[in-house]
Amino acid sequence: MAKKSNEYLDVSPFKIIETGFHKDRARVSESIFSLGNEYAGIRGFFEEGYSGESLQGSYFNGIYEYALKETENAYKGIVKRTHFTINSVNWVKCKILVGDEVLDLNTASIDAFHRELDMQSGLYQRSFIWHTKLGNLKICFKRLMSMMNCHEMLQQITFESDKSIPVYVSFHLDSNVLHWGKDCYWKKEEELIENEQYGIYVSTLTTHQSLFSLMQLDSEIQPFNSYTLDKEVVVEYEFIVDRKIEFTRYVINICDKLHSNTYSKLKLQAQQELNHFVQKGYTELLKENQEYYQVVWDKSDIKIVGDEKNQQGIRYCIFQLEQTYHGYAKDNNIGAKGLTGEAYSGHAFWDSETYCLPFYLFSNQEASKNLLMFRYNTLEEAKKRAIELDCEGACFPIATRNGKEGCNLWQHASLQFQPSTGVVYAIMHYMNLYEDKEFMQQYGLEIIIEVCKFLLTRGQYNSDHSGFGYFGVMGPDEFQMMVNQNTYTNFMAKKTFDYLLDLIQSHDYDVASMLKKCGCRASFINELKEASQKMILLYDDETKLFEQHEGFFKLPHVDVNQIPTSDFPLYSHWSYDRIYRNDMIKQPDVLMFMFLFSSDFTFEQKLKNYEFYEPKCIHESSLSPSIHSIFACELGKYDEALKFFEFSTRLDLDDYNCNTCEGIHTTSIAAAWMNIVYGFGGLRSDRATLQLAPTILPTWQEYSFKLVVHGSRLEVRVTQEYVELALHGMPIELKIYDKDIRLVDTYKIERQ
């Protein structure tokens, strides 16, 4: 793994602090200091403008556009027009001048730069002293996005000086924003200056979504001018700083994703909300947010005693997950970069169900259900996608924001089915925890049946009909493209078939009418049974090894440790096809299904397969190390567990992959949570009864994590000597170190 730590932030339990401006990390900091409230996100860029490297990104969950150009060589089944979450209104924009000097931290003379993000409130602030020709000016910026009323966003700017300094400030709402620095996808509908409120109303070019932004400024200073430009509204102030002067900007941003409201209706709503927001004020908003986060930490905090860096790191992960997604709306999802950048196009991947869902399953039922509802609500698109692939049923996209396939690389979009099997796995996982029969009957069953239809029609029998499987696929390991009988795909498909067959067997649900609704032919169930029975699973009982796909064991060997660091990332340094014809793997594939269905496999099977596949893995995906760490914990390989864990909580804070500048690795930080809870905590949730088998790193005094289990709150505290369980709520049954217990309140056991 060619990863190294690039530390520059202060260590603090609940804060991210940058002391002194690290210009060489300007874009990295923009990502790290991103704010979000699921509805929207904004990068920690400098509101006054910055002439150095910067990505001035502001994103709204579900506001997206289509590519201006069609994909070249778009054969049937290849996505012609991809889509992506677009850069949207810059609602913090301002310009600050002292005399003829424009504030620009790339060139200005400053000191006492301090920036911090408070994870107990979501308050972001930045302050410094600017040495102007006319004297020193202390400026402090604050930003806050409401976690309770998602439209409410706030900025505060304070000026102080020991001399009388003339200052010019303008506040802008600006939709002249470029996506990828190239194209603006917004067009103006209306601009508004009315009763000291300033607004712009813009809509997207082809998706016809709209965004209403309205602001009001609170200050003792009165503006001397205001005006509108194309897609921009500006308010200007001039004043002398001879005391503390403060400006509070209250902004209401309302998305109309379906463009279903009139301008006048949106205007009225925004005005009402803005009046209420101004009335509430900064202090009250801060208090609301503090209360919100109090609840979050109460149910989700992980405490690590004896490791301040990982303590800060894991809290940052939890904080960013909460900012990105907490189930506020059914049509939101979790982009690979959250709402912190344009890379990965704001798309949700299989990461949502496979890497992120567990965090929500154990803290926020509504959020976990809504992640599934996103898939239910985009089922029609998945059905269309299946048709494009000449199949029946539903094929969930590899990358999407609106339910349509958003990846125009056919080698991924047409060959990878872990999104589809992952959705069914997620339903099963959700059902393990919540036994939500209504969900299953109303939504789950239909998804499962449609996915089964897809998997049945995409699968093929081999020439003599002795085996069923998948030809021409790519499993999670994206370094093995277009292979036959990828064991992950086959195993997950079999599990999907079997799950539906079990549901039919259970008689808990009205499957018959759902099969009818889905238009399944009479032979469907028998077809499923036969396909499941004949599913090709390449397994050698002697060596206990699963073969990743047909022919994998014969592939030329590459010693991954001999690959020079300068070759990474391989996609940039190796000829494209060269990546695909060795026994090197990018991320867990066999180990992945062995993790997901952990209880299906013996210790020996896990050991053998880990020892075979781990040395072949280069972890080019940031999702990879945590899964390996979880295995290493279970297999008692603590050095390796630590090695793979090392950077998981601080992947972004210390910019291990050197690409945090593009946005934070939102789905990977979910894997950091899993690394602690599933890895060190030894949690297993692939069966109805939970299992725990905690271990602890020798350098940690103790750690604890919290889970919501079947509605009850469980706190697991692990020291070097013992494990302590504390339950608040109804008793639960679980297994700890292979011992079945019924936990009523507390339980203590020696650590094994």
Instruction: Provide the binding-site residues for a second copy, judged by CB under 8 A.
Output: 71-73, 75-78, 388-391, 408-411, 414-415, 460-463, 471-472, 481-482, 484, 550-551, 553-557, 571-578, 580-583
76 three-state secondary structure: coil
Nearest distance, CB of residue 515 and a second copy, angstroms: 25
The answer to whether 651 and 672 are in contact (CB under 8 A) is yes
How far apart CA 233 and CA 247 sit, in angstroms, is 17
Q: Is 72 left (phi over 0), alpha (psi -120 to 50) or beta?
A: beta
640 three-state secondary structure: helix
Nearer to a second copy, 181 or 472 (CB): 472
Q: Which of 394, 393, 413 is nearest to 405 (CA)?
A: 413
Q: Which residues pair with 743 in a beta bridge?
A: 732
The answer to whether 664 and 34 are in contact (CB under 8 A) is yes
Nearest distance, CB of residue 464 and a second copy, angstroms: 8
The answer to whether 685 and 368 are in contact (CB under 8 A) is no
Nearest distance, CB of residue 742 and a second copy, angstroms: 50
Nearer to a second copy, 65 or 288 (CB): 65
Nearer to a second copy, 377 or 457 (CB): 457
The answer to whether 404 and 397 are in contact (CB under 8 A) is yes
Nearer to a second copy, 332 or 485 (CB): 485
Nearer to a second copy, 2 or 749 (CB): 2
DSSP sequence for 521-544: -TTHHHHHHHHHHTB---EETTTT
In the DSSP assignment, the letter for residue 22 is -
Going by DSSP bridges, is the β-strand pair 690-692/545-546 parallel, antiparallel, or unpaired?
unpaired
How far apart CA 127 and CA 114 sit, in angstroms, is 5
Single-letter amino acid, residue 703? Y
Nearer to a second copy, 173 or 413 (CB): 413
Nearest distance, CB of residue 122 and a second copy, angstroms: 37
Q: Which of 479, 475, 358 is nearest to 420 (CA)?
A: 475
Nearest distance, CB of residue 478 and a second copy, angstroms: 12
Nearer to a second copy, 270 or 481 (CB): 481
CB atoms within 10 A of CB 281: 14
Give the list of residues 6+ apart from residue 450 with CB closer than 8 angstroms, or none: 379, 382, 383, 386, 393, 394, 518
Nearest distance, CB of residue 401 and a second copy, angstroms: 19
Nearest distance, CB of residue 370 and a second copy, angstroms: 32
Nearest distance, CB of residue 460 and a second copy, angstroms: 4
How far apart CA 320 and CA 318 sit, in angstroms, is 6
339 three-state secondary structure: coil
Nearer to a second copy, 542 or 577 (CB): 577
Nearest distance, CB of residue 66 and a second copy, angstroms: 15
The answer to whether 671 and 627 are in contact (CB under 8 A) is yes
Nearer to a second copy, 285 or 584 (CB): 584
Nearer to a second copy, 466 or 602 (CB): 466
The answer to whether 90 and 76 are in contact (CB under 8 A) is no
Nearest distance, CB of residue 472 and a second copy, angstroms: 4
The answer to whether 456 and 490 are in contact (CB under 8 A) is no
Nearer to a second copy, 417 or 678 (CB): 417
Rounded to whole angstroms, what are the CA distances from 502 to 457, 497, 509, 511, 596? 20, 9, 11, 11, 18
Nearest distance, CB of residue 57 and a second copy, angstroms: 22
Nearest distance, CB of residue 658 and a second copy, angstroms: 19
Nearer to a second copy, 348 or 391 (CB): 391
Long-range (24+ apart) CB contacts under 8 A made by 577-581 are: 579/479, 580/479, 580/480, 580/481, 581/555, 581/556
In the DSSP assignment, the letter for residue 27 is H
